[in-house]
Structures are given as C-alpha cells and as structure tokens.
C-alpha cells in the first residue's frame, strides 16, 4: 500500500518542548501555588515516563505525598495546577522559548507539495499545539494538518494506541497507508500498537529509550547544513530525510 499520510508527534518530534517549555511551565505553576516542588532538568527525564501533564503531576504527587494526593479535592487541584501550567507554557511559546527541530519545516512543506496528507497525534493539550504551530510556522501552520488529535480527546494516552486510532478514523485511512514520526518509546509503541509503521527521531530525553521495531531510528530529520544519522533495516544510515526516503522505507516495510 502506498504512503498516503504522515502522522506527526509534537513534543520532542516537531520541537524540543520539554526542558525549556513544559518543565519550566510546571515549575512556574508550582511556585505560583506556593508549593515547594521544583523539577530540575535531570529529574524531569524520569518523570516523562508518565505521559500527559495531569497524569505526570498526579504520579509525582502520589510519590511525594500519597495521603494528600488521595484526599478529596486532589483531582481539582491537579486540574487547576495544570491549567496554570498550560497558561505559562503558552506564554513561553510566545516568547520564542521553543523552535522547530532542524528539518521539520522543510519536510512539512515538501510533504505538502507532494500531496501527502498530514496529521498530528499527540498527548499534549490542543492549545499548546495550535500556539506552537502559529509561533513557528505562522498563521498557515495549522493548515498543514488535516487532523489534529491531542490531549484528552481519548481516555488513554500514549503508549496506548488510542490517539492513533482517533486520527486514523478521521483520516479514513488504514494504518498501513500512514507513517508515524515519533521521538520516544511511548510514542513509537502507541503508533505500532495501532498498526502504523513508525520512524523515530530521538530527542533530548529519549536518547536511550528502547523504541522497539521501527523503520528507522534516527537522531533527527537532518538538513542541508547537517545530515541526520542512525540505523534503518539494521544498517547505518546518514543523509537528509525527505519524502522520497520516507516512501522508500515505507515501501520496503510493506514488501
Ligand atoms: C508529550 C507529553 C505531554 C507533555 C505535556 O508526550 O507527555 O504530557 O509533556 O503536555 P508525546 P500537557 O510527545 O508522546 O505526545 O501538560 O499538555 O499534557
Ligand atoms: Mg514525543
């Protein structure tokens, strides 16, 4: 089956959003609420094992103060803290704290020119996606994506396949006609469980993730200034990821 759509993850894949974005925003929300919590860069890597900001917050709270995290009103506190975190994150995006990873804009535009359909499947909040696309790609940014699956539209976040199923239903395509671009073990697992072939462009916090079977395991998409590197089909690979390369990998997987 020929490749018809690219399905992009956001955090870690389109942009390195976690360390300078989400983590900073969580800490601002904690300080504002008078909480003595602070997530440093190193500790945050471990916290990412729980996907979803509200879920991550609750898991942390259960670890540091299980009684308080189980008390009535805890869920409302998590919701409030997360709302404030999202507000801080949006402000950070507007300040230019986060930029697209090398090669992302190039591949998005090339895919559009070649008539590939494009969608997003992410765990993060929809407003975060919309604002990231606006500040990095301008007002036409969101228009590149036919379907945006984000956050709480599904009950179970990655590594569950739910968000990929949600997106596939709206694209009205079989999973094998698509290719997911992910950066983490949880993301790769979500796509694979939905039956979608996947490539991984590892990000700051996912360098040592066990990503499982993927069409290509790379350090990025690469650009004219600097090639991407990694492995595909058990062989070392170094070049720039373009639509032709994606079509070849996708085709080889289907044979
Ligand atoms: C991203 C996430 C998100 C972000 C924070 O995972 O797990 O929780 O860290 O976003 P993926 P929210 O890249 O696999 O989609 O706070 O809006 O949930
Ligand atoms: Mg990701």
pLDDT tens digit string along 56-76?
999 999 999 999 999 999 999
pLDDT band of 254, cuts 50, 70, 90: low
Give per-residue burial for 160-172: e unless 16+ CB within 10 Å, then b: bbbbbbbbbeebe
d(CA 177, CA 37): 45
pLDDT (mean) for 128-138: 97
* C-alpha distance from residue 95 to each of 154, 172, 218, 236 (Å): 30, 37, 29, 38
Q: Which of 11, 162, 183, 209 is catalytic?
A: 11
pLDDT (mean) for 10-18: 98
CB neighbour list of residue 172: distance below 8 Å, 6 or more residues apart:
none
pLDDT (mean) for 35-41: 97
Does position 255 have pLDDT exceeding 70, yes or no?
no
Phi, psi of 15 (to 5 degrees): -155, 155
Residue whose C-alpha is closest to residue 83's, from 63, 59, 111, 53: 53
> What value does the mean pLDDT of the chain take?
97
CA–chain centroid gap for 83, Å, is 19
Instruction: Determine whether 19 is an active site residue.
Output: no
Q: Name which residue leads in pLDDT, 224 or 128.
A: 128
Mutate to test the pocket of ligand 1, among 25, 56, 124, 194 (most ligand atoms within 8 A of CB): 124
Q: Are 216 and 30 in contact (CB under 8 A)?
A: no
For residue 170, the model assigns a pLDDT of: 98
For residue 1, the model assigns a pLDDT of: 86
Distance 236 CA to ligand 1 centre (A): 30
Q: Is 76 exposed, middle or buried (0-12, 13-18, 19+ CB in 10 A)?
A: exposed
For residue 61, the model assigns a pLDDT of: 97
* C-alpha distance from residue 186 to each of 68, 113, 246 (Å): 29, 30, 21
pLDDT (mean) for 120-134: 98
Measured from CB, residues less than 6 Å from any atom of ligand 1 are: 9-12, 18, 22, 51-53, 122-125, 128, 158, 184, 186-187
Instruction: Determine whether 223 is an active site residue.
Output: no
DSSP track, 110-168:
HHHHTT-EEEEEESS-HHHHHHHHHHHH-TTSGGG-SEEEEGGGSSS-TTSSHHHHHHH
Q: Name which residue leads in pLDDT, 205 or 254.
A: 205
pLDDT (mean) for 129-148: 96
pLDDT band of 17, cuts 50, 70, 90: very high
| pTM attached to this predicted model | 0.97
Q: Which residues is 178 bridged to in the sheet? A: 5
Closest Cα to atom 10 of ligand 1? 124
Cα-Cα end-to-end distance for the chain: 9
The widest CA-to-CA distance across the chain, in whole angstroms, is 57
Mutate to test the pocket of ligand 1, among 47, 52, 92, 121 (most ligand atoms within 8 A of CB): 52
């Amino acid at each position: 089956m020929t490749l018809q759509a690219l399905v992009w993850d956001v955090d870690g894949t389109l942009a390195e959003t976690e360390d300078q974005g989400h983590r900073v925003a969580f800490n601002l929300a904690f300080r504002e609420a008078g909480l003595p919590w602070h997530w440093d860069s190193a500790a945050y890597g471990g916290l990412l094992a729980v996907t979803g900001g509200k879920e991550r917050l609750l898991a942390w709270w259960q670890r540091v103060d299980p009684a308080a995290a189980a008390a009535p009103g805890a869920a409302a506190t998590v919701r409030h803290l997360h709302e404030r975190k999202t507000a801080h994150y949006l402000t950070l995006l507007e300040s230019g704290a986060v930029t697209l990873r090398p090669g992302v804009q190039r591949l998005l535009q090339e895919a559009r020119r070649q008539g590939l359909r494009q969608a997003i499947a992410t765990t993060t909040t929809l407003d975060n996606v919309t604002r990231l696309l606006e500040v990095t790609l301008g007002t036409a940014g969101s228009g590149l994506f036919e379907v945006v699956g984000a956050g709480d539209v599904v009950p179970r976040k990655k590594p569950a396949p739910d968000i990929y199923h949600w997106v596939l239903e709206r694209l009205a395509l079989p999973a094998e006609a698509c290719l997911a671009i992910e950066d983490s073990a949880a993301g790769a697992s979500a796509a694979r469980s939905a039956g979608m072939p996947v490539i991984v462009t590892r990000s700051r916090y996912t360098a040592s993730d066990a990503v499982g079977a993927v069409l290509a395991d790379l350090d990025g998409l690469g650009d004219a200034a600097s090639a991407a590197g990694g492995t595909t089909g058990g062989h070392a690979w170094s070049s720039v990821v373009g639509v032709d390369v994606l079509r070849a990998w996708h085709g080889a997987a289907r044979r």
